[in-house]
Amino acid sequence: MKPVMEYQNFRIFMRDFYTDRKTRSGYTWRDFAKAAGYSSPVFLKLVCDGKANLSKVGVERVAQAMGLAGVDLQYFRLLVDFNQEKDSVTKKAVFKEMRTLAKENSMALVGEDQFDYYESWVNAVVRELVPQMRGATPSQIADRLAFETQTAEVKKALALLQKVGLLKKSGDGYEQAAKSITTGNLEVASLSVREMHRQMGELAVRALDEIPVKERDISGLTLGISENAFYRITKEIADFRRRITSIVLEDSGETKVYRLNLQLFPLTKEFKGGQDA
């Protein structure tokens, strides 16, 4: 089976370990639990199914049962922390520890390119902007951004976009190597996307004061709705995003890079019929 550093989910790693052993020797969940010192024969299956978590002590017992040692053990500890942590700030810090450990052992983590791309709003904007500014220097590119940006940030974005294959050199400029990007199901990318949404939300607030009214369209609705209406609205938003994407893909002669934020979130806790629940 794959080395533990090729995983970003400890539950999948544990299940793969169990499946590998079961295929080769008829290993059972009871055998796995016993090797890790658990009296319940199904506890580790519950962990793999996402219905139970591992304690700090449990991490050490399971790691020993799987024969992990050295850097593999260090990474497994961090991986469990990363998957079980709820706070996004702490989660990002743990992921950076995972990256450092992997780098020290000449490994590349799955999803780290996506993590880097979504960690800064500058990356997305530079990717859209530079194909239209052939021959421009990083300083000139920074000057064209609507919100103040350091030249060093643009240089960093250009280097990253080329590294991950989203931009490629073309004569005296750059061109996009792909037309659209997706995070897939990568947890690390999803973590970074939340940071991107936060940054873009902050820029939207700044746009109220810093961008002329004729160059922006910011509006909103405050609604009392049912759960059924919520799901109908989210479907409508998804369909709307697809229609917008089609318009952009058919477009040519770009003159500016825009950001479209779509936000639907509760302003109250749940109530019933206008009375306290």
Structural domains in the chain, CATH included, are 4-105 (1.10.260)
Element (H, E) at 164: none
* Over residues 56-81, mean pLDDT: 96
Query: Model confidence at 186, in pLDDT bands (50, 70, 90)?
Result: low
How do residues 11-66 score in pLDDT, each as one tens digit? Answer: 999 999 999 999 998 899 999 999 999 999 999 999 999 999 999 999 999 999 99
What is the C-alpha separation between 203 and 11, in angstroms, rounded?
A: 37
What is the C-alpha separation between 274 and 132, in angstroms, rounded?
A: 53
What is the C-alpha separation between 128 and 194, in angstroms, rounded?
A: 20
Give percent of the chain above pLDDT 70: 94
How do residues 85-115 score in pLDDT, each as one tens digit? Answer: 988 889 889 998 998 998 888 777 767 777 8
Higher-pLDDT residue of 110 and 80 is 80
